[in-house]
Structures are given as C-alpha cells and as structure tokens.
C-alpha cells in the first residue's frame, strides 16, 4: 500500500494521471469505446475488448466507492500494439499467420500497467510484423493519420499513435526496433519514448530483434510518458527532476542528423532551436561524422539475423501451427514479405552477425557515448524525421522530397529511419517531442537522445524542452 501511495504522489508531481474531469472509470471506458467506434475510418484499432474493459472499469469504481486508495493509473485508457500480448485479446502482429492466436497471459509490461490501474481498451494496428515505417499494412489495412486522413501515420506503431492523436485513448504502447515509437509520434504530433534497452520487461512480445526491440510508451505529453515509464520500469516512484533553473547542454550534430531535411522541416527545426536558445538552453555544435558508417555496420546485419532466429522460435513456443516458411508465404505486404523472406533465407551469415554484435556494436556504443562525454552535453537534439508525412497511396517504396509533391523521389524507409536508427542500435533512450506544423498542417518533431541509462534525466530534459516549444504547438 505504501508503494501505491508513493507512485500516486509521484504521478501528481510529474503532472500525471489526474481524474478524467471527475468521470468514473466506467464512464471513461464507455467514452473510449464510443470514440473507437466513431473513429473507425482511421483503422487505428484492430480489436476493442469491450467486455474486459467494462469489467476492469467496474472493479476500479467499486474500489473507489469503498474508499480505497486510487491506483496511480486509475482511469487511464491505454491501447496496446498488436505485437504485445494481452491475455484474452488477439495478437496478430498484423499478419495472417497469427490471426487466430490469443495469448492466455499478459506481457510483463501490460501486467505492470494493469496492476497500476490502467484500462486496456484494445489492440492497435501496425506495419505488418512491425517491419516498416508507414503502417500501410496490406493484411489489416493502412492506418490513416488523424491530422490529415489519406496520409500515413508512421510506423511501425502507427495504430497506437493514431489512436492517441485522435483522442480514442489517453496513451498507449508501441514497440521500437529502429524508430517505431518515435517516427509515428513525430508524424502525428504526440510524444513517443524509446527507453534504454532492458529497462522494461521483454516477455510476451512478437520480437524481430532481441538486441534492438523494446516496448515504448506513447502519449500526448511528456508527463504522461514519464508516469508510464515509472510503472513499466518497476522503479521506486520519484518525480522528474525540475531542470527549469539548471543549465542544459544539447548537442547539434549537423553532419549526420541534419542532412536530407525537407525545407519545411529545416525551417521548423530552426525555429525550435531558436526558442531553446532564447530560453538559455546551450546548443553545442558538434561532429558525428563517423556515425553513418558505424551504424550501417550494425543495423540490418543484427535485425535480419535475429529475425531468422526469433520468428520460428515464437511460432514454436506459442504452439502456432504455421511454419516459418508458411508465415512468409502468407505475408501480404510486399515490402515485408521481401525482407522477412530474405532474413529467413539466411541473408546474414552467423559470421557477419557475430562481427556486428561483438565488434561493430561495441564500437558504435563507444562512439555514441563519446559524443556526450567529449562534448560535455546532456543530450543530442535533432529532427526526429527528415520529412513530414506523405500520402499513403504511392509511398510504399518512394516519397517526394517536398510535402507539396515536388522534388526528387527518395526511398521511403531509409529517409524516415535515418535519425532514429542509431539510438536503437546503441540501446540508448530517445524521445520525440512535437515541434510545430508545416504549411500543410503536418506535424514536425525534435528528438532528444541521451546516454544509456539516463532515461529519467532525459525525460526531465524533455519536459523542459516541451514547455519551451509550446508556442509552436498551440
């Protein structure tokens, strides 16, 4: 009981889960159910667990009526990406071979959230098998961006982002392999967090890389993400540091993170940096000119080899009748079918994988840490994505350089993952924060990356940056 009270106090201290306008948990559950029905056209939700949700909300209301201490997440509606197990709800991972799989046990992170009072509304849509950045899923259908329908919501956690941005739920869970919480957060105007690898439990996930995959909380603001982080990490409840009067040094590495920006993003990020400078945040110009090569040596060699090991094991461990070969054959999204097929066919040898994990990844981690240490910076700051969202139709392989449809054609996947990928390979925390909108009203965002293990400090920095950038996000 003491721990519960402490968490509740921490929630208040970080601006966490205040009562939903005085509504009961049951009223909030009904609101979410109605909102999901009204927003069906977004295709953000694959499953709404009405019966489970109503029962959980009823139990919370009974506890409240009995005068018991409110749980820290009481009344907070959450959606869970459909590659994270929720007992009694389908876990398709957005692919046909898993369409009938219903786990009997919650993933560790889901259990922690339930125990803290979160109301699980249902499961969200995603890029098939979490292997893409648009959430244009040929099996479950494309997720539409609530800001501009017919534009993609980002991926692979696009359904979670769209459900939050549209107001169906207050917050949700995504997974992040190379940017899958941060990219959709950036493109829909919400906050997406990737924690240090290993910060949260990793059981009950349809994983494609044990070296890179992690669950990540997503919400409309940093305070809610910070509250979810405490619960998911199972840490003693402590409020975020107040950094309003403390010096903060942010590194600006233009020779990597500021390359290939569309003009709208470049102008928008310049405005954001100017506001930060006016607020006495120190912007330190640094070089990361070795980052591209080091990251390249780790990225795909790791994920492709680990996918080839993890997917067959997942099918076996969960008594799913499909073989790995049958799973590949059933994949509907051409981009995913190609890359997963290559992975399972042995595109990366064991020797290549071992070099990536044992040699290149430690070198990348050391280089990333040195950026913080040698420049005495608290975090890196850069555009989360180099481009704003693009129309769903025609963006499978390429997108235009400019949001008005002009300019050269760019490869879709690498153009959006450019800035989010390094932290994924390092295993360090990163958070995407809204930073204004383009001429077409499409969201832009900045990302903050910190050293491994600096999650709470990074969230505190993010809270300050969010406040400073508020004039860009009316």
By annotation, the residues acting in catalysis are: 81, 156, 180
**Residues contacting 2, CB < 8 A, separation 6+:** none
Asked if residues 391 and 269 have their Cβ atoms less than 8 Å apart, the reply is no
Pairing of strands 136-137, 282-286: unpaired
Rounded CA-CA distance 184/307 in Å is 22
Rounded CA-CA distance 20/426 in Å is 38
Torsional class of 162: left (φ above 0), alpha (ψ -120 to 50), beta (otherwise): alpha
Instruction: Kindly tell me the burial class for residue 67, based on how many C-beta atoms sit within 10 Å of its own C-beta (0-12, 13-18, 19 or more).
Output: exposed
Q: Rg of the chain's alpha carbons, rounded to an integer? A: 21
Q: Tokens 């492709």 — which residue?
A: 304
Rounded CA-CA distance 118/253 in Å is 39
CA 235, 184, 170, 460: dihedral to nearest 10 degrees?
40
**Residues contacting 351, CB < 8 A, separation 6+:** none
Rounded CA-CA distance 438/429 in Å is 27
**Residues contacting 278, CB < 8 A, separation 6+:** none
């Amino acid at each position: 009981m003491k721990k519960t009270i402490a968490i509740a106090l921490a929630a208040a201290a970080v601006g966490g889960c205040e009562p939903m306008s005085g509504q009961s948990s049951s009223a909030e559950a009904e609101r979410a159910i109605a909102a999901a029905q009204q927003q069906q056209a977004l295709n953000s939700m694959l499953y709404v667990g009405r019966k489970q949700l109503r029962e959980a909300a009823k139990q919370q209301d009974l506890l409240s009526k009995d005068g018991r201490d409110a749980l820290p997440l009481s009344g907070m509606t959450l959606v869970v990406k459909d590659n994270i197990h929720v007992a009694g709800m389908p876990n398709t991972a957005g692919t046909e071979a898993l369409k009938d799989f219903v786990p009997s046990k919650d993933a560790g992170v889901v259990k922690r959230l339930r125990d803290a009072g979160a109301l699980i509304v249902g499961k969200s849509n995603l890029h098939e098998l979490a292997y893409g950045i648009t959430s244009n899923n040929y099996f479950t259908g494309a997720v539409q961006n609530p800001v501009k329908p017919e534009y993609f919501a980002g991926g692979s956690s696009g359904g979670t982002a769209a459900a939050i941005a549209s107001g169906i739920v207050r917050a949700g869970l995504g997974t992040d392999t190379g940017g899958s919480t941060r990219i959709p957060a950036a493109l829909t105007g919400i906050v997406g967090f990737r924690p240090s690898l290993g910060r949260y439990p990793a059981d009950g996930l349809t994983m494609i890389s044990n070296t890179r995959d992690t669950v990540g909380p997503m919400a409309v603001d940093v305070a809610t993400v910070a509250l979810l982080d405490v619960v998911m990490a199972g840490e003693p409840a402590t409020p975020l540091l107040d950094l309003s009067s403390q010096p903060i040094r942010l590194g600006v590495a233009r020779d990597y993170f500021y390359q290939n920006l569309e003009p709208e993003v470049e102008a928008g990020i310049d405005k954001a940096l100017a506001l930060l400078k006016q607020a006495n945040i120190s912007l330190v110009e640094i070089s990361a000119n070795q980052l591209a090569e080091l990251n390249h040596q780790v990225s795909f060699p790791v994920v492709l080899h680990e996918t080839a090991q993890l997917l067959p094991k997942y099918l076996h461990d969960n008594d799913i009748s499909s073989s790995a070969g049958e799973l590949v054959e059933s994949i509907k999204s051409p981009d995913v079918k190609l890359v997963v097929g290559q992975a399972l066919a042995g595109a990366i040898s064991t020797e290549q994988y071992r070099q990536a994990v044992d040699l290149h990844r430690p070198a990348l981690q050391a280089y990333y840490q040195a950026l913080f240490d040698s420049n005495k910076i608290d975090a890196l700051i850069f555009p989360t994505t180099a481009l704003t969202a693009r129309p769903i139709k025609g963006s499978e392989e390429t997108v235009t350089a400019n949001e008005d449809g002009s300019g050269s054609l760019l490869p879709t996947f690498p153009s959006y993952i450019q800035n989010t990928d390094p932290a994924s390979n390092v295993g360090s925390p990163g958070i995407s924060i809204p930073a204004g909108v383009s001429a077409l009203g499409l969201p832009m965002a900045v990302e903050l990356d910190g050293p491994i293990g600096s999650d709470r400090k990074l969230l505190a920095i993010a809270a300050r940056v969010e406040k400073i950038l508020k004039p860009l996000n009316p």
